[in-house]
Structure 1
Amino acid sequence: MTLPATPGIGFKPEHFAAIRETRPDLGFFEVHAENYMGEGGPAHRTLEALRADYAISLHGVGLSIGGSRIDRDHLARLKRLVDLYQPESFSEHLAWSSHGIYLNDLLPLPYTEETLALVCDHIDEVQAALGRRMLLENPSTYVLFEQSTIPEIDFMTEISRRTGCGLLLDVNNVFVSCTNHRMDPRAYLRDFPLDRVGEIHLGGHAEEELPSGPLLIDAHGTPVADPVWALYAEVIAAAGPLPTLIEWDNDVPDFPVLMAEADRARAVLTRRVAHAAR
């Protein structure tokens, strides 16, 4: 199963009534896996109704792919969820978030041969347990490690090559990281293995002004910024239409605001299809 190459939106329960009433023209909804690991209840009844009408992208935030080990109990709960809803896609982050306890953050990794082997082993474990291919998302980062010896793109490409996993390209994360590290996001995207991308994320970011210059934060609480839309258009021009998610997790607006963002993504995807048909 694969997601349709159309816009999708991150599902929020407060929007369920509007979704049922309007039946929006969306290819899929994305839900965070950890929100549905309980047994039954209203959350599952809502997700069952949503699943009956739309494709689902299941997005993990707590598997800690880059941690010292995969929590087997967490993985078992994830497998039950995947088996129950049969989502068209499952994805996780290139990050770690647990070390004996769970931390409410997605923390960065040094890009070394040792870390590469560890992440690949963990992805192999997850894919074997789930019986399916997963997608791995590029991170937003605020620091660089002196120990890193492998460029991020090479690191992710090699993970995909060794494990067979796909990649989730978060264009906002690219813009955030490259701005923070004084790098060129267009150069990053030119080198990114777009043929391995199974989904795109677009979200908003916040900006803090520091003595050293602007620091961008992947905050998911505002509309997608114009520079990110421009980068997204270049990606679609190069790769062709791809499933595209609008992420908005904080200060969540009314549903029509999210639909306006999805329609903006649809316009980019439609232009690429029209151009290809000429």
Structure 2
Amino acid sequence: MALQERVVNVGIGWRQPHYRELLERRPALGFLEVHSENFFADGGAALAVLRQGREHYAISLHGVGLALGSAAGLDGWHLDRLAQLVEHIDPVRVSDHACFARAPWTAKGPIVHANDLLPTAFTRGGLDVLIANVQRVQERLKRTILVENLSAYVAWADDHISEPEFFNALTQATGCQLLLDVNNLVVNALNAGAADASAAASAWVDGIALGTVGEIHLAGYNDSGELVIDDHGSRVHDTVWPVYARAIARFGAVPTLIEWDTDVPALDVLLSE
């Protein structure tokens, strides 16, 4: 793969500490990715900065709040705000996570939002909920979206569909694409006690249908010795790079993002990675 091809397909997460510097320097990047919810307000400085960035780069909108796996359904206000942002920015991609966060506080109580990415059950029922919500989003936005695999720290006792099979069924039913977070695969393998986390994650990659991956995420993780956390706070670990190489070999030059959300370093660190 030529260097030029790699550069065209690589982007970084654009976070507030780098707003000004990136606009002034305009480094060679394929795209910038931002968290959608940070730009839901009408007007304001944040949206003005995003519009400036859009003049020079393709923008990928990555959400953390749609809660696509919620049996309680989607938040209409959230979806409307996302649709408005999509119309204003015309992003190259729109994505969110295969998770739930909305549920009744009590059996007959109001719907609350957990403000977290809670794992969807890998069951037929969980799949049906995710399919219905993804279809609703795509109909509202009038475009396909990407759905990201989670780093999950608990699992449902009645899970009976493998995760790759689950995502293959989702993409086939809805036409959406997979946002393949390679770091999450390694984190899950490490927490599951895999003897070779890179090999286990690579086997997961091999189970995904060709032509369904629209973007890849890379990030760092924190290993406390007891639990590995996907914290996006360091360089990509050596265990992750072989899995990324496997993904690129299988899916081609898929647009790839370097994520860094905690302990955000100097811009040059992201660019070098």
What TM-score do you get using the length of structure 2 for normalisation? 0.90
In 1, are the aligned partners of 2:223 and 2:229 still within 8 Å (CA)?
yes
State the partner residue of 1:126. 137
Kindly state the Cα deviation for residue 13 of structure 1 after the two structures are TM-superposed.
2.1
Of 98, 102, 108, 1:98 maps to: 102
2:90 maps to 1:86: yes
Structure 1 residue matching 2:59: 3-state secondary structure: strand
State the partner residue of 1:270. none
2:154 maps to 1:151: no
Query: Which of 165-174 and 232-241 deviates more?
Result: 232-241
Alignment of 1:5-16 (within 5 A): 6-16=9-19
Deviations 1:220-262 (A, max 9, x none): 111110111121112112222110000001111111111111x
In 2, are the aligned partners of 1:175 and 1:185 still within 8 Å (CA)?
yes
Paired letter, 2:85: L
CA distance in 1 between counterparts of 2:176 and 2:193 reads 29
2:73 maps to 1:62: no
CA distance in 1 between counterparts of 2:23 and 2:130 reads 40
State the partner residue of 1:26. 29
State the partner residue of 1:190. 206
Structure 2 residue matching 1:29: 3-state secondary structure: strand
Kindly state the Cα deviation for residue 182 of structure 1 after the two structures are TM-superposed.
3.1
Q: Give the 3 Å change call, closer, same or farther, for CA 179–194 of structure 1 in structure 2.
A: farther
State the partner residue of 1:39. 42
Runs of 4+ in 1 over 6 A off after TM superposition: none
CA distance in 1 between counterparts of 2:135 and 2:8 reads 26
State the partner residue of 2:222. 206
State the partner residue of 1:257. 269
Q: Give the 3 Å change call, closer, same or farther, for CA 103–5 of structure 1 in structure 2.
A: farther
Structure 2 residue matching 1:227: 3-state secondary structure: coil
In 1, are the aligned partners of 2:8 and 2:29 still within 8 Å (CA)?
no
In 2, are the aligned partners of 1:142 and 1:181 still within 8 Å (CA)?
no
Paired letter, 2:166: F
Kindly state the Cα deviation for residue 194 of structure 1 after the two structures are TM-superposed.
4.0
More helix by share: 1
Percent of paired sites with the same residue: 43
Deviations 1:99-153 (A, max 9, x none): 2222231011211111111110001100000000000111111222211111111
Kindly state the Cα deviation for residue 216 of structure 1 after the two structures are TM-superposed.
1.2
CA distance in 1 between counterparts of 2:30 and 2:95 reads 17
CA distance in 1 between counterparts of 2:210 and 2:244 reads 12
CA distance in 2 between counterparts of 1:108 and 1:74 reads 20
Measured on the aligned residues, the alpha-carbon RMSD in Å equals 1.3
What TM-score do you get using the length of structure 1 for normalisation? 0.88
In 2, are the aligned partners of 1:5 and 1:241 still within 8 Å (CA)?
no
Query: Which of 104-113 and 37-46 deviates more?
Result: 104-113
In structure 2, the gaps of 5 or more residues are 1-6, 104-110, 195-199
Paired letter, 1:189: V
